[in-house]
A and B are shown apart, each in its own frame.
Chain A
């Protein structure tokens, strides 16, 4: 109860004002975002702000059921960070390193979808170099196959990596573009699905013209 209020307070008093004042988001095709769970949102990943931006773009009533999938080896390293990531951000921790035999690395995510929650996945696996798209991993394809009726919504974001890149702590104001793609649904062919998802996000990237940043 207390943590749930803290979570709401954090998003309303810190995250939303910050994204509104310091960042400023230009959202294209907002109507394509899910209005109810379950759903999987996939996006390119450049900054800690990516998760915050996606969570505030959804209707406010959905914050309660929105869960970013995040690396256990990064977010669960200290007690404070783990408390913040699990209770305030509401992450579903996932083991990036490899699976112990006989366990299902996606079990927690599948359960969340079964409960009707919206999960956010960054299929690049890490924030990587700012504003560069790397190859997508196949986890989302597995999830989508297991949940063929759950829409997968691809999102391309530009600018948050300029505002707060991986190796810095000081945010700099930039306007940010967020382009939402058409929903996709799972198929048996993991490779083809991942390919289609990659192409969808690349096509969204092609809708804008972004200045170089080097």
Chain B
């Protein structure tokens, strides 16, 4: 197996492995010391993290095509989960197939590094194609709701998530310190750790709620603690993984942290609207795949354009 993985990225993947091993050992130790404590939830969460990190790491280690296939598959699962969650019309079954069909095309543009097509395909062409296919079917009751919700799902699960994948194919001149996979690792690790940090800070010092009607568990304490933690982590690893200066690294940390929060509460609002607690049951201990990707749907496009604006 040949790997073109930058040594810095290999190191970062090693650190990720170390964190998981430590977390697993600590959980095991707590289980030994306090047998009465219920660790079932934490154990299944941790096991899922192993699977996610394993697949993600594997995708980065293998050739670019495999990594893109991995992200395309993530988009597919997320879109399938979304379309299973929302009310759909029986008449629209073929329209849904068009939305699914956008995934291979979008990832083909990414594979080819065709930036223009990547940017316009879902927001313009799919946006126009969905209502067109719907008119051909001819069912008008609930037309606007269906056209709007189907396209929104494709924007979130295919277009937004696709930005993670496009980081991989950016020219290597963009990021001499770790190439595309360095940027992907920086974005994904910071987004996921920001989620965990906001949760833990919220438990520890959270009082005043940020958005009581949308997500009652989100507190100012959690948000600010999360921002500080994420910026600190950005400062630890930006030299190894990104082309950023110190100031840009701080800004990237703030963007990922603040908009990770926004992505989280946006998906929370959608779930609240649909009156479900989790978006699905695909990932034991976490819920659905959208529950895991919620922050990334905001951080991926924003971090992507932050980087491209500065360095492309």
Residues of A in contact with B (beta carbons under 8 Å apart): 24, 26, 28, 130, 159, 162, 165, 168, 170, 172-176, 209, 211-214
Contact A130 B90 (CB under 8 A): yes
A contact residues around B97 at 8 Å (CB): 170, 172
Contact B100 A211 (CB under 8 A): no
Do A211 and B280 contact each other (CB < 8 Å), given the known contacts A170-B94, A173-B100, A175-B81?
A: no
Which residues, 185 to 225 on B, are CB-close (under 8 Å) to A?
Answer: none
Contact B93 A172 (CB under 8 A): yes
Interface of B is mostly: helix
**Of B80, B94, B274, which one neighbours A211 at CB under 8 angstroms?**
B274
The CA of A130 and the CA of B280, in the complex, are separated in Å by 22
The CA of A170 and the CA of B92, in the complex, are separated in Å by 12
Interface of A is mostly: loop
Contact B90 A211 (CB under 8 A): no
**Of A162, A165, A176, A209, which one neighbours B88 at CB under 8 angstroms?**
A162
Residues of B in contact with A (beta carbons under 8 Å apart): 76-77, 80-81, 83-90, 93-94, 96-97, 100, 142, 274-276, 280-282
A contact residues around B96 at 8 Å (CB): 172-173
B contact residues around A162 at 8 Å (CB): 88, 90, 93
In the complex, the chain B residue whose C-beta lies closest to that of A173 is B80
In the complex, the chain A residue whose C-beta lies closest to that of B139 is A214
In the complex, the chain B residue whose C-beta lies closest to that of A26 is B281
Contact A175 B80 (CB under 8 A): yes
Contact A174 B84 (CB under 8 A): yes
Contact B84 A159 (CB under 8 A): yes
Known A174-B84, A211-B88; 13 more pairs at CB < 8 Å: A162-B90, A165-B93, A168-B93, A170-B93, A170-B94, A173-B80, A173-B96, A174-B80, A174-B83, A209-B276, A211-B87, A211-B274, A214-B89
In the complex, the chain A residue whose C-beta lies closest to that of B73 is A21
